[in-house]
């Protein structure tokens, strides 16, 4: 059976996507200058993005640029991208990032260990990362769903992360061949719903257009109910989405039909 055609108000979807966007620069050759430019781009004429997501070494400069009261949160990554660092290293990265001004920590789970059958490695890592991320800072766990592959394994990773205190479950680092997909997002949303959790979802990697965003919003509505997706519990991790969002809001891009879900 073919998927139903998704219809939507392009500008309304663009506004929602903007509010839920973690504008990302995790390029290997990123510079402080590029991150400061990212801070400027995060404050658009149509409103701010939810957050910027940057390497830990740039958090302090971004905090100085944005100031303490900025509506744009600062997210950074730890145990990234391999998911294979020792727990004490992950704790050190997390503590330093928060001291430098990070509001959100995106930690990669030891997904290779999980594939090898070691569920305890994931539980232990998320638990120590949670303990190192005191409120109001928020912890996102990156499952690397494209590498896990098996839907049952993706569900297991989501369940462990939620049980261990994650505020968000995130699909991907954006550094592997397969990143965010609607199928993996549906597995993760179902895990959140069935756990009765208040945690959020962050699909990341490969989301480039308002049409892409609209498909994810439709999925959230179908699985979680109307109105669930908001910046508090839903984010897009993307570097390229902002351009299409702004073009849509400025009226310089044609409306694109969604691909359905």
Residues with catalytic roles = 106, 170, 202
* First-residue to last-residue Cα distance in the chain: 12
Contact (Cβ atoms closer than 8 angstroms) between residue 74 and residue 62: yes
The whole-angstrom separation of Cα 198 and Cα 76 is: 22
**How many Å apart are CA 66 and CA 244, to the nearest integer?**
24
- 181: Cβ contacts below 8 Å, ≥ 6 apart: 145, 146, 171
Cβ neighbours of residue 183 closer than 8 Å, sequence gap 6 or more: 151
Beta strand pairing call for 43-44 and 47-48: antiparallel
Integer Cα distance of 61 and 36 in angstroms: 8
Cβ neighbours of 120 (radius 10 Å): 12
């Amino acid at each position: 059976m073919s998927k139903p055609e998704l219809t939507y108000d392009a500008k309304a979807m663009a506004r929602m996507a903007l509010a839920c966007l973690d504008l990302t620069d995790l390029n290997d050759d990123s510079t402080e200058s590029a991150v400061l430019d990212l801070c400027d781009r995060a404050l658009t004429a149509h409103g701010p993005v939810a957050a910027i997501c940057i390497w830990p070494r740039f958090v302090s400069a971004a905090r100085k640029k944005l100031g303490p009261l900025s509506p744009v949160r600062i997210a950074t990554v730890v145990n990234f991208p391999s998911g294979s660092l020792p727990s004490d290293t992950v704790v050190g990265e997390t503590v330093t990032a928060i001291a430098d001004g990070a509001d959100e920590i995106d930690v990669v789970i030891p997904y290779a260990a999980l594939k090898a059958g070691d569920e305890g490695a994931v539980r232990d890592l998320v638990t120590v990362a949670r303990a190192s991320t005191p409120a109001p800072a928020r912890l996102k766990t990156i499952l690397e769903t494209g590498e896990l592959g098996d839907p049952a394994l993706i569900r297991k990773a989501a369940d462990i992360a939620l049980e261990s205190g994650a505020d968000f479950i995130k699909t991907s680092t954006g550094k592997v061949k397969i990143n965010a997909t609607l199928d993996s997002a549906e597995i993760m949303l179902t895990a959140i719903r069935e756990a009765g959790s208040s945690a959020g979802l962050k699909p990341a990697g490969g989301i480039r257009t308002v049409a892409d965003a609209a498909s994810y919003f439709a999925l959230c509505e179908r699985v979680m109910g109307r109105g669930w997706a908001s910046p508090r519990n839903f984010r897009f991790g993307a570097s390229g989405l902002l351009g299409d969002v702004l073009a849509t809001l400025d009226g310089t891009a044609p409306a694109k039909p969604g691909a359905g879900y």
